Amino acid sequence: MDERVFLRYLDGELDPDAAAAVAAALRDDPGRRRRFAELRAIEHAYQSGQETLPEARRAALMERLRREPPTSHFDLVRRADLEALAEVHSTHGPIFSLYLDTRPERREAEPPLTRLAHLLRQTEQQVRLDERARSYRTHWAEESEHLRAWLAEHTPLEGHGLAIISCTAIGLWRAFRLPVPVRDQLVAGDQPYLRPLATLLDEFERYLVVLIDAGNARLFEVCLGTIEELDDVWGYVPPATGHFVEKTGHRHDAYLHRHAKRVAERAEALWHANHCHWLVIGGTEEALGELREHLSKPLRERLAGELHLSPQVEPGQVLERVLEIERDQEQRVEAQRVEEVVTAAHKGGAAVLGLEPTLLAIVEQRVRLLIVAEDDPRPGWVCQSCGFLGANRTEICPICGLTLTEEPDSIDVALARVLAQNGEIEVVRSRDARQLLMLHGGIGAMLRYSYGAPPPPESTH
């Protein structure tokens, strides 16, 4: 997008057609969208007459805006987005939900376009396309072509996974490039199929990042390979040096103290509002020391790492460093959790290992934490009536006697089921932990209570 066109759009100088084109481009570009919001905010602050932006803050904002917007490799997946998508229905044409594993090795073995063609043929058979009304078939053809064209244009794809929710008939189009792989699948229906995205959102932990120096602080959220600036805090802190060293030094300390306290309070509020899991702090040594002092105990306990970065750095740089911390943290947590389940299961405690016992525990609603190895789909059998889920091929549901349907990936269903039961999930991705889990069947769970204890009242099976 041309910078001048963008600025003219901001000023409302474009004719309706050109403005609509820019608005459409903004929808597909989170970086631009953020920048647009920032520019609007500054404009608003100045238009309202009361120039509340301090000079330093204004200068820093302008400086930040003059730089190119950060180009993220991934798209932000927000819970609010998924909730909005879950409301969408189409009575005109099918909504396509396409998921593709786009890791380089997978792309080379079988190009995404080939896999799309295969998935389309498969789905056409599933929905019995040849028996559908003509208008439905027309929409289907349009939709298939749209996906094909988009994939062809965006090859090679960035990221490890891709999710597209699309329905040309109702003007719906959302594409998410993801930092983790998803299993290839295409679902066509009158509603978007969001389970893989929802699972990722639940599994991936959110990091609150606070960068502070004497006078400024910026707060970010990092989740699923993307970074978003949540807020900044500005405070007046006089320099520590001056003619009256002792006097100004004392003033400096007092102001810095107050600044750090405000930043800690803001961090605490955002921590709760955004349901964050881990905290990363950084900044200049002196300000960072003050911030540490003011963090509440619960936040200090969730401290995952510290960065020596100034609040003025590019968000992309912050993201890179936080992702390093996240990788270490994930490895540690995964190894710990696999070991916990293996040990507890071997001691006969409240834990299970292996596909069949784990699925059974899910049916019994006893799973507190489900752990599965990444990239290990297993077919299974599901009862659409009572919800029974099993690994062994059986036609008849052992609970209610109705016919079972085959599920290509029972792990997928298991993850969604545990989340629906307010359990936790962990997809084990790091090498060592995954290897250990694979030795024990690739799947396991910590249970809410062991076999010896009486079941809770809500468990009726």
Q: What are 53-62's contacts with CB under 8 Å, separation 24+?
A: 54/234, 54/236, 56/215, 56/216, 56/234, 57/216, 57/232, 57/234, 60/216, 60/312
Using the minimum distance from each CB to Zn ion, give the nearer residue, 370 or 383.
383
Number of Cβ atoms within 10 Å of the Cβ of 114: 10
Q: Tell me the residue type at 166.
A: S
Candidate segments 15-23, 77-85, 254-262, 381-389, binder of Zn ion by CB under 5 A? 381-389
Number of Cβ atoms within 10 Å of the Cβ of 220: 22
Candidate segments 14-22, 51-59, 90-98, 393-401, binder of Zn ion by CB under 5 A? 393-401
Using the minimum distance from each CB to Zn ion, give the nearer residue, 269 or 400.
400
Using the minimum distance from each CB to Zn ion, give the nearer residue, 182 or 397.
397
Using the minimum distance from each CB to Zn ion, give the nearer residue, 48 or 460.
460
Question: Which of 222, 200, 199, 201 is closest to 210 using CA atoms?
Answer: 222
Tell me if 5 sits within 8 A of 14, measured CB to CB. Answer: yes
388 binds Zn ion (CB under 5 A): yes
381 binds Zn ion (CB under 5 A): no
Q: What is the rounded radius of gyration, in angstroms, for the C-alpha atoms of the chain?
A: 26
Candidate segments 37-45, 123-131, 382-390, 424-432, binder of Zn ion by CB under 5 A? 382-390
Using the minimum distance from each CB to Zn ion, give the nearer residue, 127 or 386.
386
325 binds Zn ion (CB under 5 A): no
Of the residues 383, 391, 411, 418, which one makes contact with Zn ion according to CB under 5 A: 383
360 binds Zn ion (CB under 5 A): no
5 binds Zn ion (CB under 5 A): no
Question: Which of 418, 420, 440 is closest to 359 using CA atoms?
Answer: 418
| CB of 367 vs Zn ion, minimal distance in Å | 19
Using the minimum distance from each CB to Zn ion, give the nearer residue, 93 or 380.
380
22 binds Zn ion (CB under 5 A): no
Q: Is the dihedral of CA 324, 198, 415, 409 positive or negative?
A: negative
Q: Between residue 396 and residue 415, which ones bind Zn ion under the rule CB under 5 A?
A: 397, 399-400
Q: How far apart are CA 69 and CA 85, in angstroms?
A: 27
| CB of 217 vs Zn ion, minimal distance in Å | 55
Contacts with Zn ion by CB under 5 A lie at 383, 385-386, 388, 397, 399-400
